[in-house]
């Protein structure tokens, strides 16, 4: 009985250290959540992202071994971000007909922007497509969430049933590179900053001196071109 007390004390001390480690990096999780939220529609709550991230952070703190990795946040950052993206993926409950509507909304937005240099309102889209306003808003929000996902996942969402199975990873990379090669250096920079550096539209706008609406359209246009190549 006496021998178990030191073990219990050690376990308690270790758990306290793990909890302290998680608490130490909770502000970083919150910052990540708010940064991600800036790229999402209003329907996604930042508090949900924070909750998902904090839960993952605690799990990682329990498993962390300082002897294998001397930076906890370096070890945890991608995993926490991945957990938040998993949560966003779980929001994808749209049917195939809804997905067709998302693609049509996207097409109409691009055409309208090309003609008027601004995006149409939800009400204008509803009139243009001849669809219920609530469905337009749902489709637009879903499209914004999907635009955050890696390009291969966008293909899974918007491609036909056989596309995902027929496209190998190397072919996807080839098509991405081919599409990027047709773009201007400025547009390539936008894709780099958005998908790889994970900057939001406001930050990219400040760096390149381009409106947020234009940046958004370039990002959507590139994703669409890649999907069209593969479909």
Give the C-alpha separation, 209 to 47, whole Å: 31
Contact by Cβ (8 Å): 113, 217: yes
Q: What is the pLDDT along the chain (231 residues), one digit of tens a residue?
A: 555 555 455 455 666 777 788 888 899 999 888 888 877 767 778 899 999 999 999 988 888 877 777 788 888 888 998 898 888 777 655 555 577 788 888 888 878 887 887 888 899 999 999 888 888 888 887 777 776 666 555 655 555 444 444 445 556 667 677 777 888 888 888 888 887 777 888 888 888 888 888 888 888 777 777 766 665
Contact by Cβ (8 Å): 72, 64: yes
Among 146, 180, 215, identify where a domain stops: 146
Q: What is the DSSP letter of 120?
A: P
- 77, 114: one domain: no
Residues 6 or more apart whose Cβ sits within 8 Å of residue 30: 50, 53
Which of 101, 137, 142, 97 lies closest to 121, judged by CA? 137
Domain range spanning residue 190? Answer: 148-231
SS3 231: coil
What CATH code is carried by the domain that includes residue 202? 1.20.140.160
- 167, 117: one domain: no
* Token pair for 25: 């990096």
Considering its fold, how many domains does the chain have in total?
3
* Token pair for 205: 């706008």
> What is the CA 85 to chain-centroid distance, rounded?
6
In terms of Cβ atoms closer than 10 Å to its own Cβ (0-12, 13-18, 19+), residue 60 is: buried
Number of H helices, E strands in the chain: 13, 0
In terms of Cβ atoms closer than 10 Å to its own Cβ (0-12, 13-18, 19+), residue 161 is: exposed
């Amino acid at each position: 009985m006496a021998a178990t007390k030191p073990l219990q004390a050690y376990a308690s001390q270790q758990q306290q250290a793990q909890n302290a480690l998680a608490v130490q990096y909770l502000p970083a999780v919150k910052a990540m959540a708010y940064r991600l939220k800036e790229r999402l529609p209003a329907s996604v709550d930042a508090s949900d992202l924070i909750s998902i991230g904090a839960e993952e952070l605690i799990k990682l703190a329990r498993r962390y071994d300082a002897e294998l990795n001397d930076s906890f946040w370096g070890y945890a950052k991608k995993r926490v971000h991945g957990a938040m993206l998993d949560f966003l993926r779980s929001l994808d409950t749209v049917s195939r007909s809804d997905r067709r509507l998302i693609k049509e909304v996207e097409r109409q937005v691009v055409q309208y922007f090309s003609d008027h240099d601004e995006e149409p309102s939800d009400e204008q889209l509803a009139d243009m497509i001849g669809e219920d306003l609530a469905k337009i808003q749902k489709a637009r929000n879903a499209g914004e969430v999907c635009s955050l996902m890696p390009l291969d996942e966008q293909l899974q969402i918007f491609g036909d049933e056989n596309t995902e199975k027929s496209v190998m990873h190397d072919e996807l990379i080839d098509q991405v590179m081919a599409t990027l090669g047709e773009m201007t250096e400025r547009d390539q920079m936008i894709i780099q900053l958005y998908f790889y550096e994970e900057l939001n539209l406001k930050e990219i706008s400040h760096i390149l001196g381009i409106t947020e609406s234009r940046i958004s359209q370039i990002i959507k246009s590139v994703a669409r071109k890649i999907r069209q190549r593969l479909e």
